[in-house]
Amino acid sequence: MVEHLWRTYHKQLLSFIQKRVADSATAEDILQEVFIKIHTCIDSLQEGRKVKAWLFQITRNTIIDYYRRSNDVTDLNSPLQDLEDENNPDALTDIQTCILPMIKSLPETYRDALLLSELNGLSQKQLADKLHISYSAAKSRVQRGRNLLKEALRKCCSFEQDSTGKIIDYEKKVSSCDNCRETNL
């Protein structure tokens, strides 16, 4: 069964991965990891479930795992943490690949605060200790960094929210975002 899936979908999945990962060798590695997961989890595929959707979900999750590993991400508590990818399955992956370059483009004070707290999982108290600043200053830097990141994301994309405020879809504003062009958003 896995061999049949490989023959049928490997080109589509590789293309999907290459749109989200800059390096072709890394894309190939991710594809191999995807098929290892497929081989391992093939028994969990529920009858009646759409195979293609299942394959792309595994692929999206593997890409996200790659970005988390490559950036030492332990907890991705971004302004988009509530993004639901059911209506637009590519949205979460696309936007997550765009967030790190946006964070890196922030002024150093806020960039460091977000990288340490949001991406490396330090609490704001730990952040204050690490940066030798007051707890109040750490909280302020993280909040201001989040606001700057939200502004950058809004310049890049228009977001659609549901009645509870969760982001359910987005539309690219490609001409206004250098960071997203670098990451294929």
CATH code of the domain containing 28:
1.10.1740.10
| Domains of the chain: total | 2
- Residues 54 and 140: their CA atoms lie apart, in Å, by 41
Q: Are residues 64 and 112 in the same domain?
A: no
107 & 184 share domain = yes
Residues sharing a CB contact under 8 Å with residue 183, sequence separation 6 or more, in sequence order: 20, 22, 97, 98, 101
What does the angle CA 72 – CA 78 – CA 79 come to, to the nearest 5 degrees? Answer: 165
Note whether 154 and 181 are same-domain residues.
yes
More confident residue, 121 or 126: 126
Residue tagged 């490559």 (tokens): 70
Q: Using a cut of 0.85, tell me whether the model's pTM lies above it.
A: no
Mean pLDDT across the chain: 77
Bridge partners, 167 (sequence order): 161
Which of 30-34, 99-103, 178-182 has the lowest average pLDDT?
Answer: 178-182
65 and 83: one domain? Answer: no
Encoded amino acid at 13, one letter: L
Considering the domain architecture, whether residues 58 and 84 belong to the same structural domain is answered as no
- Residue ranges of alpha helices (H) inside the chain are 2-18, 24-41, 51-70, 89-104, 108-114, 124-131, 135-156, 178-182
The whole-angstrom separation of Cα 34 and Cα 38 is 6
Backbone region of residue 121 per phi and psi (left: phi > 0; alpha: psi in -120 to 50; beta: other values): left
If asked whether residues 29 and 44 sit together in one domain, one would say yes
Phi, psi of 168 (to 5 degrees): -115, -15
Residues 104 and 49 occupy one common structural domain: no
**What CATH number is given to the structural domain containing 147?**
1.10.10.10
Co-location of 134 and 174 in the same domain = yes
The pLDDT assigned to 50 comes to: 79
**Mean pLDDT: which of 2-11, 35-44, 65-74 is highest?**
2-11
- Segment 141-184, tens digit of pLDDT: 999 999 998 888 888 877 777 677 666 677 777 655 655 544 44
Tokens at 146, concatenated: 């989040």
